């Protein structure tokens, strides 16, 4: 066979074995022969067909041994464009997933809020010195006769009473993640930031349950080897109030330059004050609860060891920053 | 409130073998938080954060009192030494050296004593050193004595030049609006009214009480006789004045937290001792003490069950008793009920049973309490939660190469939009308003990266704040995208693909608006309702698109109803046509699509000069279309395009 490549070979195959090929047309002629001739012609045609088929097969196989075509697998691929979710979005996803696993319901409450919900309902009347810690932005708008001034909410705790009023009858397991605003701007503070607030109210909720929840969060969010501890603190809207620490991962709790004797400060927590429960329409004689409110940026930095020197970078739109994550 | 406590000073009142490190650790776990210790040996100081409710521990003695209660919980013995005083002057309701008329609502306890023939000089070294260690600058013995008492006991005091008080007469009253006083730092204040002030017989103000003394009555190097002054004041008035005048003195910060009047007498006696020993003063025989409503015992009753429920464990009664006794409470158990007498220095922060629970819990140690997740019912999901949807949308855009950004909600006036909410106390003009649109923020964000050579696109999902009358603003969650250096079709395709992924059927309607180039803007509508907009901005040819998240979610479907897969394949063909200038190709495609039910899909495949290649899918779900049937549809299409748009097939 003179075929030099698979295409030519295919032409030859069709010429003999195709629907109107030579051999096929010969077979069609058999019909007209005597029974004796038919038999002889049949044998002859079959032999011929076998010979042609095996020759084509041989030839086809021989083509596979042809010299390789040049191919360079080291050439870089053409990549689809990679998008980026912001670090804050990633942190919020992690945090809400962690709490949702133990039955918390994620909510969102106003970022621009009445003074009453941000402070008074939380046991901080007007002029109370405790308010100093919240460097609050006030909105230039008329006061509400009952709820007072409009403020940019300085903490997610404003959602506590709103959640109580929404749910009415406990159980409550709320995780409220939202933007908050405070009048401060330096390497550690941005006037806009994010907090997440946990609130649990039911019959018989104790400090032990708060510890259980915080430990669960620490193990799931930071890692199974991490622990939390509570220290006394004071907030007007919780009684008792705590400062929560998580064990330092860098020194494994032994104490190092970055931590305080093996502990890093996470944020505040406490058992919900009976006055706050009452303001939310919940009977403190029947129900008790706990709450905690921490900075998303803070836990993000503590988790990943990102070592971002200036937290304000998180709120810049510099592609060199955004594309890193 | 951050205070600095020198170790040598603390040991005056705290007798214990505990090391400084042990004291720091135990205090932090059960009481005021010791942020750090610095210095060594006699120079060691504790930096301590005292919470606003515990002004009683904002002093050396106050910290010692806490430590004495806490250390035994760690099996470390500790003893409290009360300040040694020798002054034995009598307390009297009237005295001959001062005629004082006092409004007791403003000043619950008013004490004063005349000390004659003082010598003004430098304080001794030991006193100077203690002041320096705790962050105060020594001035002279008179000023230093005041500071020393305040740091020891947490009770501010003041000294007047006795001879500058006209007729030795004082009237303590509320100020009237507009009255003026020059304080001893030389600043003149115009008073807002309702401030606590003292005037003398001449009717001139000589003291801005609780905040700072008047310049006209101040002690100087010529002073011979001083009136030593120890008071407590109504905290609300002090706070108002101090905040209104932005005059935050050490005294004001303490007085505004409501001080214990019972602390006035020890402070007065300690002062008399110091004036006698350090300034050779001669005190009068009587201390003036106007204290019409002396401290009454405060009692609370706490149920044992309340304690157990809050702690999550049953603590043995003797432990509870021991803790409260060490803290200065008196306790009596009546079966399951605990009666508690609150010491005078705690009556302001101990008001309800939960406050007692806190005392028990913190001293027992939160670290000793068990850690258990709550049992009980899991609450119902939120009926209109959008969080999963938001995450889905963000992930889709990320898949399209979008880069998410977070920009600040505050903007300058020219970027805020009309009627935007204004802040009363912004950090600056650049952040004075709350934004009503994400457009200006994203434009700025894109331009920050104008050095970028490759096309890119940013997106953000955030609230805008739309003012409402007599109400909080509407917080509308928006999704916005900005495209830099990007081809219009690619940018638009991103929005189209997003909508398609969410199974949103939307119409794009050309409509001009502010900020967009004329006839470069499309309104995105579903069922006739606007859900967003998209187009080319006037600024730098940036392309901007936005969608309202709530409306987008309402228009979206998690999945469409199942459609049987057609057994009969489509016939696909490409047709290239030539159109006159200014033909709207979107409308041509709409015309082709609407021509016959047998056209399942139309795409614009290619553009070359005025040649447009469309790929058309002909398909009948019930049978295979014959060539004749396809030709018939094609001819109809070509005919209608020719009539409506003047487009002809390329020969």
- The 10s digit of each residue's pLDDT in A80-118 is 899 999 999 999 999 999 999 999 999 999 999 999 999
Q: Evaluate if residue B618 carries a pLDDT over 70.
A: yes
Structure letter (DSSP) for residue B606 = E
CA distance A199 to A213: 11
The closest alpha carbon to B422, from A114, A130, A142, A103, belongs to A142
Give the mean model confidence (pLDDT) for residues B40-50: 94
Q: For residues B577 and B647, is the Cβ–Cβ distance under 8 A?
A: yes
- Tell the residue number behind the tokens 């409009």, with chain if given: A150
Q: Where are the alpha helices (DSSP H) in B51-166?
A: 60-70, 125-133, 141-153
- A171: nearest CA in chain B? B379
Query: Lowest mean pLDDT: which of A243-252, B232-241, B569-578?
Result: A243-252
Q: Return the pLDDT at A3.
A: 67
For residues A191 and A107, give the distance between their C-alpha atoms in angstroms, rounded to a whole number: 22
Q: For strand B403-404 and strand B456-466, is the pairing parallel, antiparallel, or unpaired?
A: parallel
Which chain A residue's Cα is nearest to B355? A239
User: Which band of pLDDT confidence, cut at 50, 70 and 90, is reported for residue A225?
Assistant: confident
Asked which of B337, B368, B399 is the last residue of a domain, the reply is: B368
- pLDDT given at position A2: 65
What chain B residue is nearest to A151 in terms of C-alpha separation?
B423
B473 contacts in A (CB within 8 Å)? 112
- The pair of three-digit structure tokens given for residue B333, joined into one six-digit string: 């158990």
Q: How far apart are CA B69 and CA B32, in angstroms?
A: 12
Chain B residue with minimal CA distance to A236?
B53
The tens digit of pLDDT for each residue in B227-269 reads 999 999 999 999 999 999 999 999 999 999 999 999 999 999 9
A67 confidence band (pLDDT: 50, 70, 90) = low
Residues contacting B184, CB < 8 A, separation 6+: B212, B213, B214, B215, B218
Considering the domain architecture, whether residues B417 and B542 belong to the same structural domain is answered as yes
Domain total of chain B = 5
- Give B30→chain A minimum CA distance, Å: 6
Q: Which of B135, B279, B136 is nearest to B219 (CA)?
A: B279
Q: What is the pLDDT of residue B404?
A: 98
In the predicted model, what is the mean pLDDT of chain B? 95
DSSP A148: B
CB B362 within 8 A of CB A241: no
Same domain, B544 and B449: yes
Whole-angstrom distance, CA of residue B34 vs CA of residue B32 = 6
Residue B566 falls inside a structural domain: no
What is the extent of the structural domain holding B352?
298-368
What are the tens digits of pLDDT across the range B118-175? 999 999 999 999 999 999 999 999 999 999 999 999 999 999 999 999 999 999 999 9
Q: Are B560 and B599 in contact (CB under 8 A)?
A: no
Which two tokens mark B75? 């099996």
pLDDT at B227: 97
User: Does pLDDT of B204 surpass 80?
Assistant: yes
Which of B253, B269, B290 terminates a domain? The answer is B290
Q: Is the ipTM of this complex over 0.95?
A: no
CB-nearest to A206 from B53, B311, B475 is: B311
How much is the average pLDDT of B631-645? 93
Per residue in B444-487, pLDDT (tens digit) is 999 999 899 899 999 999 999 999 999 999 999 999 999 999 99
Q: How confident is the model at residue A187 (pLDDT cuts 50, 70, 90)?
A: confident
Mean pLDDT computed over B211-235: 95
The confidence score (pLDDT) of residue B360 equals 96
Mutate which: A79, A80, A82, A83, vs B, most B CBs within 10 A? A83
How many alpha carbons lie under 13 Å from residue B602 in its C-beta half-sphere? 22
- For an interface test with B, the pick among A240, A244, A285, A287 (most B C-beta atoms closer than 10 Å) comes out as A240
For residue B250, tell me if it sits in a domain.
yes
Q: Which among B236, B405, B462 has the least Cβ separation from residue A127?
A: B236
**A–B interface: beta-carbon pairs under 8 A:** 231
Residue B563 forms part of a structural domain: no
Instruction: Indicate if the alpha-carbon torsion angle A256, A260, A263, A268 is positive or negative.
Output: negative
| A140 vs B404, B405, B423: nearest CB | B423
Task: Identify the residue whose tokens are 């019930």.
Answer: B622
Q: Are residues B74 and B99 in the same domain?
A: no
* Mutation target vs A (from B50, B371, B493; most A CBs, 10 A cutoff): B371
Give the per-residue pLDDT at A185: 87
Nearest chain B CA: its distance from A205 CA (Å): 7
- pLDDT at A250 exceeding the cut of 90: no
| Residues of chain B positioned with their CB less than 8 A from the CB of A103 | 378-379
Q: Which residue of B has its CA nearest to A145?
A: B470
Same domain flag for B179 and B203: yes
**Residue B453: count of CB within 10 angstroms of its CB:** 6
Instruction: Tell me: do B484 and B520 sit in the same domain.
Output: yes
Confidence of residue A24 (pLDDT cuts 50, 70, 90): confident
Residue A162 makes CB contacts below 8 A (sequence gap 6+) with A109, A110, A117
**pLDDT tens column, A284-315:** 999 999 999 999 998 998 887 777 878 888 99
pLDDT digits (tens, 9 = 90+) for B285-340: 999 999 999 999 999 999 999 999 988 899 999 999 999 999 999 999 999 999 99
Q: Tell me the chain A residues in contact with residue B312 when contact means C-beta distances shorter than 8 Å.
A: 206-209
| Separation between Cα atoms, residue B386 and residue B473, nearest integer Å | 20
Confidence tier at A31 by pLDDT (50, 70, 90): confident
Residues B52 and B138 in one domain: no
Determine the pLDDT at residue A64.
67
List chain B residues with CB under 8 Å of A80.
401
The pLDDT of residue B320 is 97
- Same domain, residue pair B178 and B322: no
Convert the pLDDT of each residue in B69-117 to its tens digit: 999 999 999 999 999 899 899 999 999 999 999 999 999 999 999 999 9
Q: CATH code at B520?
A: 3.30.930.10
- DSSP E strand boundaries for A102-171: 105-107, 112-114, 150-152
Helix (H, G, I), strand (E, B), or coil: what is residue A169?
Answer: coil
Question: Are A81 and B400 a contacting pair at CB < 8 A?
Answer: yes
Quote the tokens at residue A250: 């860098």
Burial of A177 (0-12, 13-18, 19+ CB in 10 A): buried
Q: Which of these three, B290, B309, B344, is where a domain ends?
A: B290
What is the DSSP code (8-state) at residue B494? H
Residues in chain B: 651
For residue B277 the two structure tokens come to 């020993």
In a shared domain, residues B220 and B121: yes
List of chain B residues whose C-beta atoms are within 8 Å of the C-beta of residue A167: 379
Region A9-27 average pLDDT: 82
Test the A interface: residue of B361, B374, B455, B474 with most A CBs within 10 Å: B374
Contacts of A312 in chain B (CB under 8 A): none
Residue B399 in domain: yes
| Residues of chain A found within 8 Å of residue B355, distances taken between Cβ atoms | 239
**Chain A closest CA to B239's CA: distance in Å?**
7
Report the alpha-carbon angle B115-B120-B126, nearest 5.
100
Quick one: pLDDT at residue B140? 95
pLDDT of residue A65: 58
Residue B37 to residue A261: CA distance in whole angstroms: 12
Give residue for tokens 């432990």: B319
Q: Do B421 and A112 lie within an 8 Å CB cutoff? A: yes
Q: What is the DSSP string of A227-269?
A: -EEEEEEEETTEEEEEEEEEE-TTTTTS--TTSBTTEEEEEEE
Q: Are both B63 and B195 inside the same structural domain?
A: no
Q: Supply the pLDDT for residue B414.
A: 92
CA distance B136 to chain A (A): 24
CB contact under 8 A, A85 and B448: no
- Nearest partner of A152 among B410, B407, B406, judged by Cα: B410
Query: What is the domain-level CATH number for residue B584?
Result: 3.30.70.380
Do B213 and B98 share a domain, yes or no? yes
CB within 8 Å: B25 and A93: no
- For A94, the closest chain B residue by CA position comes to B391
Other Cβ atoms less than 10 A from the Cβ of B620: the count is 17
Whether residue B380 lies inside any domain: the answer is: no
CB-CB under 8 Å, A85 with B424: no
A288/B379 touch (CB, cutoff 8 Å), yes or no: no
Beta-carbon-side half-sphere exposure of residue B469 (alpha carbons within 13 Å): 0
In the predicted structure, residue A266 carries a pLDDT above the cut 80: yes
CB atoms within 10 A of CB B105: 10
Confidence label for B185 from pLDDT (cuts 50, 70 and 90): very high
Give me the CATH number covering residue B50: 3.30.56.10
Per the domain annotation, does B54 fall within a domain? yes
Taking phi first (over 0 means left), then psi (-120 to 50 degrees means alpha), and beta for anything else, what does residue B614 get?
beta
Residue B366 and residue A242: Cβ atoms within 8 Å?
yes
Cα–Cα dist A212/A106, whole Å: 19
Question: Taking the CB of residue B398, how many other CB atoms lie within 10 A of it?
Answer: 18
User: Do B227 and B129 have their domain in common?
Assistant: yes
Option in A85, A209, A229 nearest B374 (CB): A209
What pLDDT, on a 0 to 100 scale, did the predictor assign at position B135? 94
The residue-averaged pLDDT of B629-634 equals 93
Question: Which residue, among B520, B455, B444, B515, has the nearest Cα to B484 in the 3D structure?
Answer: B455
Domain presence at residue B564: no
Interface test mutation site (partner B, options A117, A198, A207, A276, max chain B beta carbons within 10 A): A207
Burial class (CB within 10 angstroms; exposed 0-12, middle 13-18, buried 19+) of B441: buried
**For residue range B375-396, what is the model confidence (pLDDT) as tens digits?**
999 999 998 899 999 999 999 9
Query: Tens digits of per-residue pLDDT, B412-446?
Result: 999 998 889 999 999 999 999 999 999 999 999 99
pLDDT in tens, B270-283: 999 999 999 999 99
Q: What is the CATH number for B157?
A: 3.50.40.10
Number of other CB atoms surrounding residue B103 within 10 Å = 13
Q: Tell me which chain B residues have a C-beta less than 8 angstroms from the C-beta of A144.
A: 470
B488/B390 same-domain check:
yes
% of chain B exceeding 70 in pLDDT:
100
In a domain, B409, yes or no: yes
What is the pLDDT, as a whole number, of residue A227? 85
């Amino acid at each position: 066979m003179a075929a030099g490549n698979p295409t030519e070979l295919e032409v030859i195959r069709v010429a003999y074995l195709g629907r109107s090929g030579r051999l096929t047309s010969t077979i069609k002629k058999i019909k007209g022969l005597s029974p004796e001739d038919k038999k002889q012609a049949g044998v002859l045609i079959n032999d011929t067909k076998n010979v042609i088929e095996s020759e084509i097969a041989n030839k086809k196989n021989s083509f596979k041994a042809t010299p390789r075509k040049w191919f360079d697998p080291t050439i870089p691929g053409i990549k689809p464009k990679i998008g980026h979710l912001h670090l804050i979005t990633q942190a919020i996803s992690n945090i809400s997933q962690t709490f949702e696993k133990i039955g918390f319901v994620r909510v969102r409450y106003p970022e621009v809020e009445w003074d009453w919900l941000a402070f008074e309902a939380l046991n901080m009347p007007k002029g109370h010195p405790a308010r100093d810690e919240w460097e609050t932005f006030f909105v230039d708008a008329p006061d509400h006769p009952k709820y007072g001034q409009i403020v940019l909410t300085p903490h997610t705790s404003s959602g506590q009473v709103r959640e109580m009023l929404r749910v009415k009858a406990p159980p409550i397991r709320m995780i409220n993640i939202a933007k908050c605003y405070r009048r401060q701007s330096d390497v550690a503070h941005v006037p806009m930031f994010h907090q997440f607030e946990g609130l649990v109210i039911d019959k018989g909720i104790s400090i032990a349950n708060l510890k259980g929840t915080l430990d669960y969060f620490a193990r799931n969010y930071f890692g199974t080897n991490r622990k939390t501890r509570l220290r006394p603190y004071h907030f007007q809207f919780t009684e008792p109030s705590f400062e929560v620490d998580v064990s330092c991962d860098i020194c494994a709790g032994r104490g190092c330059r970055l931590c305080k004797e093996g502990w890093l400060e996470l944020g505040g927590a406490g058992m919900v004050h009976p006055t706050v429960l009452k303001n939310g329409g919940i009977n403190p004689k029947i129900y008790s609860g706990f709450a905690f409110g921490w900075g998303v940026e803070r836990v993000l930095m503590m988790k990943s060891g990102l070592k971002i020197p200036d937290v304000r970078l998180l709120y810049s739109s510099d592609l060199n920053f955004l594309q890193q994550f | 409130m951050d205070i600095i406590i020198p170790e040598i000073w603390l040991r005056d009142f705290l007798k214990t073998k505990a090391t400084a490190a042990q004291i720091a650790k135990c205090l932090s776990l059960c009481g005021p938080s010791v942020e750090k210790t610095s210095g060594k040996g006699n120079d060691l100081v504790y930096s301590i954060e005292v919470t606003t409710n515990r002004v009683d521990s904002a002093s050396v003695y106050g910290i010692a009192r806490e430590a004495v209660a806490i250390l035994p919980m760690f099996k470390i013995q500790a003893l409290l030494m009360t300040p040694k005083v020798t002054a034995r002057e009598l307390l009297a309701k009237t005295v001959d050296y001062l005629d004082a008329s006092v409004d007791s609502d403003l000043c619950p306890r008013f004490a004063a004593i005349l000390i004659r023939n003082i010598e003004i000089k430098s304080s001794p070294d030991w006193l100077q050193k203690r002041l320096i260690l705790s962050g105060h600058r020594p001035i002279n013995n008179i000023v230093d004595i005041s500071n020393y008492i305040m740091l020891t006991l947490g009770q501010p005091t003041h000294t007047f030049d006795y001879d500058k008080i006209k007729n030795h007469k004082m009237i303590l009253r509320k100020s009237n609006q507009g009255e003026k006083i020059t304080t001893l730092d030389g600043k003149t204040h115009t008073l807002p009214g309702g401030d606590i002030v003292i005037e003398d017989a001449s009717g001139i103000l000589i003291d801005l009480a609780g905040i700072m003394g008047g310049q006209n009555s101040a002690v100087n190097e010529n002073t011979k006789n001083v009136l030593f002054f120890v008071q407590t004041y109504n905290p609300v008035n002090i706070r108002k004045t101090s905040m209104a005048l932005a005059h935050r003195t050490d005294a004001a910060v303490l007085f505004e937290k409501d001080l214990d009047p019972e602390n006035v007498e020890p402070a007065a006696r300690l002062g008399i001792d110091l004036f006698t020993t350090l300034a050779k003063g001669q005190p009068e025989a009587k201390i003036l003490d106007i204290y019409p409503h002396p401290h009454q015992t405060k009692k609370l009753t706490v149920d044992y069950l309340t304690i157990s429920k809050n702690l999550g464990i049953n603590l043995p009664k003797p432990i509870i008793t021991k803790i409260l006794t060490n803290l200065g409470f008196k306790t009596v158990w009546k079966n399951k009920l605990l009666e508690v007498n609150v010491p005078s220095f705690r009556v302001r922060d101990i008001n309800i049973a939960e406050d007692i629970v806190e005392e028990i819990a913190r001293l027992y140690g939160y670290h000793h309490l068990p850690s258990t997740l709550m049992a009980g019912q899991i609450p119902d999901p939120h009926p209109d939660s959008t969080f999963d949807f938001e995450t889905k949308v963000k992930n889709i855009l990320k898949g399209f190469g979008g880069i998410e950004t977070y920009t600040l909600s505050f903007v300058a006036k020219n970027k805020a939009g009309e009627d935007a909410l204004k802040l009363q106390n912004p950090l600056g003009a650049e952040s004075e308003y709350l934004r009503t649109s994400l457009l200006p923020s994203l434009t700025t964000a894109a331009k920050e990266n104008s050095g970028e050579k490759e096309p890119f696109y940013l997106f953000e999902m955030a609230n805008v704040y739309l003012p409402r009358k007599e109400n909080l603003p509407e917080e509308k969650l928006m999704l916005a995208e900005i495209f830099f250096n990007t081809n219009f079709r690619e940018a638009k395709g991103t929005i189209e693909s997003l909508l398609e992924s969410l199974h949103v059927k939307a119409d794009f309607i050309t409509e001009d608006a502010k900020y967009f180039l004329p006839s470069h803007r499309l309104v995105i509508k579903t069922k006739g309702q606007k859900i967003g907009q998209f187009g080319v901005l006037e600024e730098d040819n940036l392309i901007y698109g936005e969608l309202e998240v709530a409306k987008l979610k309402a228009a979206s479907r998690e999945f469409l109803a199942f459609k049987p897969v057609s057994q009969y394949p489509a016939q696909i063909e490409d047709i290239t046509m030539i159109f006159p200038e200014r033909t709207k190709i979107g409308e041509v495609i709409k015309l082709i699509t609407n021509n016959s039910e047998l056209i399942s899909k139309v795409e614009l495949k290619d553009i070359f000069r005025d040649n447009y290649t469309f790929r058309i899918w002909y398909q009948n779900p019930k049978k295979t279309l014959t060539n004749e049937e396809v030709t018939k549809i094609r001819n109809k299409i070509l005919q209608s395009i020719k009539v409506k748009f003047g487009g002809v097939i390329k020969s």
